[in-house]
Amino acid sequence: MFSINYKFVLLIVLLLTGFSACDVPTTSGSTMSIVQQEEKTPPVKQQSPVIIDKSRDFSYTWLDNFEPKDALLNRIATPSNYKRTPVRKESFANWLRHLPLKPDGTAVYYYNGSKKPNQRVQHSVIDIDTGKRDLQQCADAVMRLKAEYHYGLKAYKDIHFNYTNGALVSFDDWRYGRKPVINSSNNSTFTDRKTQCDNSYKNFKRYMTSIFSYAGTHSLSKEMEQIELKDMQLGDVFIQGGFPGHAVIIVDMAIHEKTGEQLFMLAQSYMPAQDMHILVNPNDARLSPWYSTDFGDVLQTPEWTFKRGDLKRF
């Protein structure tokens, strides 16, 4: 049955009025499928995971409870002779490395509850909500994770993104009532700030919905700094800004104890909006879901192909 892509319709409307939306209104995902893994990959020979200290406070606000056994680093071990790269205790990198995962074998679902046809893309599914609208696509997922990390620390001033028209929209302003108003002349005006503020998670989610609606790969790629592959860190993003574009975020890294070879792990959402998931490696069944930094000039993921120069950092 033919279905209407409301983000695409919104994009056309915005372009006709002079406002430049991203990808498909929120500008995140892509309709292109470059590679689909058709064969199951053998399991990676792994080291035993190390259970984290249960007394540690990892803030994943959308969850009622955080179970350390479900943390990414406890569910996905490194290949033999690799160890995870060191990170600071309270860093975004460490927060990503402990993202909660759903049970093994969990399927990826779209925002509307329908099952994604291609279930050979994900290694694991991240335990985070997708929403009931076609908004949390690829760049949106990246921005959601970054914003959630800062929200958990109550670092509200660090939560800010640009709309596609260039307007800077911060949660620090939003929580005091200073919110953007988009008009047909491609300008953003803002409502006046209020004396009372609303730091609630419900208001934070309203802010993120606004970001998802008017920002995406096109705007996010302009905000980020290009990084050399040799300088890769957890939290960096492979991103191609465009209409469409795509973005995947590095959620873990490891290094070979003898050779120094580095590995990384990727997470994404896609279009239509769907559960965030850890990507398999379609190029190397021995390493999957890990990728080697020695991938040449082209990084081929299950649903998109990136170049070395697409690596960027917040």
Query: Tell me: the pLDDT tens digits for 57-102?
Result: 678 999 998 889 999 999 999 999 999 999 999 999 999 999 999 9
pLDDT, one tens digit per residue, over 198-246 is: 999 999 999 999 999 999 999 999 999 999 999 999 999 999 999 899 9
Q: What is the pLDDT of residue 11?
A: 41
Residue at 227 is within a domain: yes
Query: Domains in the chain: how many in total?
Result: 1
Does 306 have pLDDT greater than 70?
yes
Q: Does 3 have pLDDT greater than 60?
A: no
CA gyration radius for the chain?
19
| Predicted local confidence at residue 297, as pLDDT | 95
Q: Average per-residue pLDDT in the chain?
A: 85
**What domain range includes position 308?**
6-313
- Please give the single-letter amino acid code of residue 72: L
Domain assignment present for 260:
yes
Q: Can you give the pLDDT at residue 61?
A: 96
Residue 300: which residues within 8 A CB-CB, separation 6 or more?
34, 35, 282, 283
Specify if 1 maps to a domain.
no
**Distance separating alpha carbons of residues 275 and 184, to the nearest angstrom:** 33
CA distance 23 to 25: 6
Note the pLDDT of residue 10: 41
Looking at residue 187, its pLDDT comes to 66
- In this prediction, residue 188 has a pLDDT band, given cuts at 50, 70 and 90, of low
Q: Would you place residue 190 in the very low, low, confident or very high pLDDT band (cuts 50, 70, 90)? A: confident
Residue 119 in any domain: the answer is yes
Q: What pLDDT is recorded for position 230?
A: 96
E strands, 122-186, where? 122-125, 160-162, 168-170, 180-182
Whether residue 288 lies inside any domain: the answer is yes
Sign of the CA dihedral running 79, 80, 86, 91: positive
Confidence band (pLDDT; 50, 70, 90) for 195? Answer: confident
Q: Tell me the pLDDT band of 194, cut-offs 50, 70 and 90.
A: confident
Q: Given pLDDT bands bounded at 50, 70 and 90, which one contains residue 182? A: confident
> E strand or H helix at 222, and its extent?
helix 217-223
Looking at residue 90, what is its pLDDT?
92
pTM: 0.83
The H-or-E segment that residue 252 falls in is: strand 246-256
Give 169 or 25, the one with higher predicted confidence: 169
If you average pLDDT over residues 42-64, what whole number do you get? Answer: 61
- Residue 228: CB atoms within 10 A of its CB come to 9
Provide the strand spans (E) within 113-191. Answer: 122-125, 160-162, 168-170, 180-182, 188-190
Tens-place pLDDT, residues 156-167: 999 999 999 999
Which of 9-13, 146-150, 262-266, 297-301 has the lowest average pLDDT?
9-13
Note every long-range contact of 162-167, with CB atoms under 8 Å and residues 24 or more positions apart, other chains counting: 162/215, 162/219, 162/220, 162/222, 162/223, 163/188, 163/211, 163/214, 163/215, 163/219, 164/19, 164/20, 164/21, 164/22, 164/27, 164/214, 164/215, 164/216, 164/218, 164/219, 165/19, 165/20, 165/214, 166/219
Residue 192 confidence (pLDDT): 77
Return all residues near 136 (Cβ < 8 A) that are at least 6 apart: 28, 111, 130, 144, 212, 269, 273
Q: Is residue 30 part of a domain?
A: yes
| pLDDT surpassing 70 at residue 40 | no
The proportion of the chain whose per-residue pLDDT surpasses 90, expressed as a percent, equals 74
Average pLDDT over residues 42-52: 48
Could you tell me the end-to-end alpha-carbon distance of the chain, in angstroms, rounded to an integer?
40
Give the whole-angstrom CA distance, residue 244 versus residue 233. 26
